[in-house]
């Protein structure tokens, strides 16, 4: 079954076309047929599409073309996928794309697993806009656009970033503010990056041959957004992002955890409105805020190592220290774990950052293997701790699109979803 996976942002759409079915899932041989991104929707958009050849190499297509909205962008993607130019084996008409899987950021308390999109599900996703005003409206644009491009009968599935964390116990998801605010406004921890943490959990147990019930790991997703998840007996027990993706670890431009009294203080001292304070915390903080240079970890490492830049070093130190604190906290919350697992752009590629995080965790039983650590970059997966380390460290490149494609297939076929 050919599944179109869509991830819609405010001015961009990312896609993958994945061929999957029950047998391919069992053999882990699902195939990515094409992928791409359209950026700067609303103006002269930048299109970058690639077809994956049978031997794993790819053919690319780039162009700049005016695209007024998400609907036009998605039409462009679909037209290209079925075109003779793309020449994707077995795909030449709309009917060859069996279903569309959407990444949806916030499912609130009700939408706790992947599901077929019906009018009532759309209404529920709309109801969650309050909780994710920056993300859910973009995801909905993709859903409306597919309805328009394919007609009302298109099979669409929503896969929620919050769903993996629906197993958080109340003592982990409640904030210690008056309980009526939870009841009235649903203010609580939801957690995000759930599709990624779920993939890491699945892939780890496949690699080491464990049943889900026996997976006790800490999954550390370090990309532009960063979050960490305590996975006990295969389920999310706690995670660092909260009601919104602003809480927790230090990120590219987001502050993560902060004393809430700072908001009022900052507003008073700088004369900022509430919106300006939010903008500082979301867009001008994190690695960018501390370094004053960039939110890009690669550039920061270069500044720290080659130019001995003090603030670049400080930003990396604050970043790594926060992660270390969370590892300690989660090991206590879980009563121990067998591994910490790195994923995301930084987690998958930066042996430098991984070493900084692991340094000083020997007391917890984590002994890094420096050669393995240095060798496990650019899409490689595997263990990076020494054999016999009581707490292992792994790198598992995330694959959220694969999870979305598989869930879409299962929902369309009416199959049971993995718990």
* Residues making contact with ligand AMP (CB under 6 A): 223-224, 252, 296-298, 301, 344-346, 349-350
Name residues whose C-beta falls within 8 Å of residue 367's C-beta, 6 or more positions apart in sequence: 385, 386, 388, 389
Residue nearest to ligand AMP (CB): 345
Number of H helices, E strands in the chain: 16, 14
Smallest distance from the beta carbon of 354 to ligand AMP, in angstroms? Answer: 10
Of the pair 157, 301, the CB lying nearest ligand AMP is at: 301
Smallest distance from the beta carbon of 193 to ligand AMP, in angstroms? Answer: 10
Smallest distance from the beta carbon of 298 to ligand AMP, in angstroms? Answer: 4
The answer to whether residues 340 and 366 touch, using CB atoms and an 8 Å cutoff, is: yes
Tokens standing for residue 25:
């899932």
Of the pair 83, 224, the CB lying nearest ligand AMP is at: 224
Could you count the other beta carbons within 10 Å of the beta carbon of residue 408?
28
Task: Give the DSSP letter string of 129-149.
Answer: GGT-TTTHHHHHHHHHHHHHH
Smallest distance from the beta carbon of 399 to ligand AMP, in angstroms? Answer: 12
Smallest distance from the beta carbon of 299 to ligand AMP, in angstroms? Answer: 7
Q: Among this protein's residues, is 387 annotated catalytic? A: no
Residue in 109, 106, 121, 87 with CA at minimum distance from that of residue 167:
109
- DSSP bridge pairs for 218: 230, 340
CA distance 193 to 343: 11
Smallest distance from the beta carbon of 310 to ligand AMP, in angstroms? Answer: 19
Of the pair 244, 253, the CB lying nearest ligand AMP is at: 253
Cα distances (Å, whole numbers) of residue 382 to 41, 249, 273, 378: 38, 24, 47, 12
Of the pair 244, 350, the CB lying nearest ligand AMP is at: 350
Among 69, 127, 161, 257, the one annotated catalytic: 161
Q: What is the DSSP letter of 386?
A: P
Of the pair 67, 301, the CB lying nearest ligand AMP is at: 301
Of the pair 160, 342, the CB lying nearest ligand AMP is at: 342
The answer to whether residues 393 and 384 touch, using CB atoms and an 8 Å cutoff, is: yes
Name residues whose C-beta falls within 8 Å of residue 357's C-beta, 6 or more positions apart in sequence: 220, 320, 323, 324, 327
CA distance 8 to 138: 6
Q: Helices (DSSP H) in 3-116: which residue ranges?
A: 22-27, 70-81
Smallest distance from the beta carbon of 377 to ligand AMP, in angstroms? Answer: 6
The answer to whether residues 88 and 36 touch, using CB atoms and an 8 Å cutoff, is: no
Torsion of CA 287, 292, 295, 297, to 10 degrees: -70
Place of tokens 């270069």: 302
CA distance 138 to 156: 16
Of the pair 253, 408, the CB lying nearest ligand AMP is at: 253
Q: Which residues are catalytic?
A: 161
């Amino acid at each position: 079954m050919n599944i179109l996976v869509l991830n819609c942002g405010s001015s961009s759409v990312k896609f993958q076309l994945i061929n999957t079915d029950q047998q391919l899932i069992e053999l882990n041989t699902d195939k990515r047929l094409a992928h791409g991104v359209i950026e700067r929707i609303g103006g002269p958009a930048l299109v970058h599409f690639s077809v994956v050849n049978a031997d794993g190499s790819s053919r690319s297509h780039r162009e700049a073309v005016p695209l007024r909205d998400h609907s036009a962008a998605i039409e462009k993607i679909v037209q290209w996928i079925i075109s003779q130019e793309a020449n994707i084996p077995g795909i030449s008409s709309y009917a060859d794309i069996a279903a569309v899987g959407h990444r949806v950021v916030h499912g609130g308390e009700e939408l706790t697993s992947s599901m077929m999109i019906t009018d009532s599900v759309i209404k529920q996703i709309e109801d969650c806009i309050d909780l994710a005003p920056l993300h859910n409206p973009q995801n909905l644009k993709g859903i409306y656009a597919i309805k328009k491009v394919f007609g009302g009968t298109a099979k669409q599935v929503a896969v929620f970033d919050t769903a993996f964390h629906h197993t958080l116990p109340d003592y982990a998801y409640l904030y210690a503010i008056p309980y009526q605010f939870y009841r009235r406004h649903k203010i609580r921890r939801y957690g995000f990056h759930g599709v990624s943490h779920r993939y890491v959990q699945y892939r780890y147990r496949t690699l080491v041959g464990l049943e889900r019930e026996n997976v006790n790991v800490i999954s550390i997703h370090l990309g532009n957004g960063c979050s960490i998840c305590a996975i006990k007996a295969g389920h999310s027990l706690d995670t660092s992002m909260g009601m919104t993706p602003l809480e927790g670890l230090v990120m590219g431009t987001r502050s993560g955890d902060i004393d809430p009294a700072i908001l009022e203080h900052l507003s008073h001292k700088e004369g900022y409105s509430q919106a300006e304070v939010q903008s500082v915390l979301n867009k001008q903080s994190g690695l960018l805020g501390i370094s004053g240079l960039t939110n890009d970890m690669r550039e920061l490492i270069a500044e720290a190592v080659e130019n001995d830049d003090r603030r670049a070093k400080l930003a990396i130190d604050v970043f790594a220290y926060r992660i270390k604190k969370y590892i300690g906290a989660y090991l206590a919350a879980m009563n121990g774990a067998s591994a910490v697992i790195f994923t995301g752009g930084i987690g998958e590629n930066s042996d430098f950052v991984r070493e900084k995080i692991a340094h000083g965790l020997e007391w917890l039983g984590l002994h890094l293997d420096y050669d393995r650590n240095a060798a496990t970059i650019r899409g490689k997966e595997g263990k990076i701790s020494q054999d016999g380390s009581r707490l292992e460290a792994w790198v598992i490149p995330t694959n959220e699109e694969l999870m979305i494609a598989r869930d879409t297939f299962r929902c369309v076929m009416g199959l049971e979803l993995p718990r």
